[in-house]
Amino acid sequence: MMEWIDLLTMMGIVMAGLSIVTAFAVLVNFARQALKQRKPKLIKVVSEKKKEEKPKMSKEKGEGVTFNDIFMFMIAVPLVLLWVGFAGFVIHTGLNNSAVLENIEAYTTLIAILGGPALLIIKDALDVWKQEQAEKTAFYKIKAQAVIDYNDASQKQAQMIESKAQEQEHKMESKK
């Protein structure tokens, strides 16, 4: 029985240690990016001959990794996974071991501490997803309207060409 409690305690300590290491890594990376921005950039000499370049795709334009990307992959994702994993492990262990139920308050406190930021991260991720879906919907509405307008204009042009051709035919017949 003690071994399960010791295992859960060790998991809590390991999670706290990983959080500290992750926070330190993010701070170091953030400091590196801040120092890179402060360095003066060298001016590149471009030859007079301009090469014809193909248009670059968005990945090729030099979109760098942002602080938000680093935050999501180094802190947010592991935090949410740890929260869900630890909560599941405590529930599973609590169902199989009554000693865990005696100390459940400590474990639920740890789950709540991890759960607060994890829930905020999940909410923000869902908000971003909703925004992306709204943008896609708006894009497809505009695209569909453009197709409708194009088809309408194409049909009007075809009708105009046909009427002009008929007028020309009538003029030619009347001249005979």
Tell me, yes or no, whether 140 lies in a domain: yes
Helices 2-38 and 77-96 sit at what angle, rounded to 10 degrees? 180
Residue 121 lies in a domain: yes
Copy the structure tokens of residue 42. Answer: 């060298």
Give the model confidence (pLDDT) of 101-136 as tens digits.
Answer: 788 888 888 888 878 888 888 888 788 888 888 998
Binned at pLDDT 50, 70 and 90, residue 49 comes out as: very low
- Nearest alpha carbon to residue 2 among 80, 100, 140: 100
At 167, is the pLDDT very low, low, confident or very high (cuts 50, 70, 90)?
A: very high
pLDDT given for residue 60 in this prediction: 47
Q: Write out the H or E segment, with its range, that includes residue 60.
A: none
What angle, 0 to 180 degrees and rounded to 10, lies between the N-to-C axes of helices 104-175 and 77-96?
130
pTM check: above 0.95: no
Range of the domain at 166: 2-36+65-175
In a domain, 89, yes or no: yes
Domain for residue 90, yes or no?
A: yes
CA–CA separation, 97 and 2 (whole Å): 10
Q: Looking at the 3D structure of the chain, how many domains does it have? A: 1
Evaluate whether residue 98 is within a structural domain.
yes
Q: Do the domain assignments include residue 85?
A: yes
In a domain, 51, yes or no: no
Highest mean pLDDT among 3-7, 31-35, 94-98: 94-98
Work out the average pLDDT over 26-37. 74
* pLDDT (mean) for 2-27: 72
CA–CA gap between residue 93 and residue 106 (Å, rounded): 14
